[in-house]
Amino acid sequence: MYAVDSPATPRQHRPSGGHQRLPQRGAVKPKRRKNDSARTPLLLAAPALLILAALLGYPMFRMMQLSFQDMRLRQLLTGVTPPWVGLDNYTNVLTDPFFWDVVRRTATFTVVSVVLSVVFGLAVALLMRRVARPVRLAMVVAMMFVWAVPQLVQAQIFKWMVDTDFGVFNYLLAQIGLDYQGHSWFADPTQGWIVITTLVIWAGIPFLAITLNAGLTQVPKELLEAAVVDGASPWQALRRITLPILKPLITIVTTLSVIWNFGLFTQVWVLRDSKVEPEYQTLGTYSFIQAFGQSKYSLGSAIAVITVLLMLGVTVFYIRQMFKIGEVD
């Protein structure tokens, strides 16, 4: 992220020795460089592109193909080519009201979880700028630990903490005199979703806070000091100076969070003990259960393709932002 956000900061506009020397050196033999520069990037990118084509392109192609066929367990086990069914899978999915419930739920979760994680992430990042160095270091270390815990383990930890019978959460709430003994956190889907969202936000904060903190180091102190001298309140300084400078970075981390959280799967899967009730289904679990739980591989593929299409808008926006920032350079 450093490489991405640094060009956007005002400091980069000052002339720097390193930047100027390069074009001069190139000017000595302009012709050869031109030929090279056309081919070299392509050559350098070729291995990566080939790997992407093999690991991403082919499975994507098979997924598209599958979504137009009717592949079941029999075809999987016997190797018989599945029958072609055209748009049947898509019609089935798109006319199923339950699918739209799932889409709505996934979208709502994404909006809520992303807004909250970005706000908390930014708050932690701002706090990191204010505290003493050792405290900041402790914060980074603590967050690195959270970041280092695999999703599956994070979810298991939460599952135990909110367990009805053995959970430390109910125990503590009961200790302070609340009637939470044997309280079920998943009987009511609203509470269940609060637990899942909390887990996702908790796990998302380290990346956001550390990235945004790095961005904050690029906000010129002089600007903020000048603002304070001119009588700006801290809130005004944040809104008028810090946030505008951070905006490209915030846009990128928000878009990334949207893409990640929209694909929510592991947390729900673990917290619901791999038996995901209808109210806890997201596009990720729904497509997985259709494909692998019920062996309707084609229907699952169709749902996955629709999910890709739904996410396409966000992805395009993300890529455009990346390019936009690149152009400033």
Partner 1 sequence: MKRRIAIAAALAATLLGAAACGDSGGTTAPSTEGKVDGAGKTIKVWLMVDAESGWKKVVDDANARFKAETGADVKVEYQQWANHLTKLDATLAGAEVPDVVELGNTEFAKYVDAGAFAELKKDEFENSSTWLTGLSGACELDGKTFCVPYYAGARVLIYRTDLFEKSKVEVPKTLAELKTAADKLESDNKDSKFGAFYIPTNWFMAFSFGQRSGGKIAVKEGDKWVGQMSQPAFQQGLQDWVDLHKAYSKADPAKDENDQAAIFAQGQAAMFYGNGWEKGSAEEIRKDPNDPESELVPTKVKGKLALAPMPEVPSFLGGSNLGVTQKSANQALAAKWVKAFTDTKSMEGLIAANALPNSTALLDKAAAVEGMEATAQAAKNSWFPPNSAKWADVEKQTVPQTMLRDILTGKKTVQEATAWGDEQINTILNAS
Please tell me whether residue 288 binds partner 1 under the rule CB under 8 A.
yes
| The only residue of 68, 158, 186, 193 in contact with partner 1, by rule CB under 8 A | 186
Q: Report in angstroms how near the CB of residue 262 gets to partner 1 at its nearest.
A: 8
Please tell me whether residue 83 binds partner 1 under the rule CB under 8 A.
no
What residues are paired with 84 via a beta bridge? Answer: 69
Looking at residue 83, the DSSP 8-state letter turns out to be P
- The b-or-e profile of 23-36 (16+ CB within 10 A means b, else e) is eeeeeeeeeeeeee
Where are the strands (E) in 71-162, listed by range? none
| The only residue of 62, 129, 239, 240 in contact with partner 1, by rule CB under 8 A | 62
Do residues 295 and 232 lie in contact, with contact meaning Cβ atoms separated by under 8 Å? no
| The only residue of 41, 274, 326, 328 in contact with partner 1, by rule CB under 8 A | 274
Task: State the angle between helix axes of 297-328 and 243-262 in degrees (0 to 180), rounded to the nearest 10.
Answer: 170
- Quick one: 114 or 291, whose CB is closer to partner 1? 291
The 10 Å Cβ neighbour count of residue 86 is: 10
| The only residue of 46, 49, 53, 55 in contact with partner 1, by rule CB under 8 A | 55
The dihedrals phi and psi of 69, each to the nearest 5 degrees, come to -110, 180
| The only residue of 4, 6, 33, 75 in contact with partner 1, by rule CB under 8 A | 75
Q: Report in angstroms how near the CB of residue 284 gets to partner 1 at its nearest.
A: 7
What residues are paired with 69 via a beta bridge? Answer: 84
Q: What mask of x and - would describe binding to partner 1 in positions 237 to 266, judged by CB under 8 A?
A: ----------------------x---x-xx
Q: Output helix, strand, coil percentages for the chain, rounded to the nearest 5.
A: 80, 0, 20
Please tell me whether residue 273 binds partner 1 under the rule CB under 8 A.
yes
Where are the strands (E) in the chain, listed by range? none
Please tell me whether residue 287 binds partner 1 under the rule CB under 8 A.
yes
- Quick one: 41 or 278, whose CB is closer to partner 1? 278
Cα–Cα distance for residue pair 280/290, rounded to 1 Å: 15
Binding positions for partner 1, 310-329, rule CB under 8 A: 311
| The only residue of 149, 293, 310, 317 in contact with partner 1, by rule CB under 8 A | 293
Cα–Cα distance for residue pair 293/299, rounded to 1 Å: 12
Residues in the chain: 329
- Quick one: 242 or 257, whose CB is closer to partner 1? 257
Please tell me whether residue 67 binds partner 1 under the rule CB under 8 A.
no
Which residues of this protein are in contact with partner 1, per CB under 8 A?
55-56, 58-60, 62-63, 66, 72-80, 164-166, 181-182, 184-188, 192, 259, 263, 265-266, 273-278, 284, 287-289, 291-295, 297, 300-301, 304, 307-308, 311
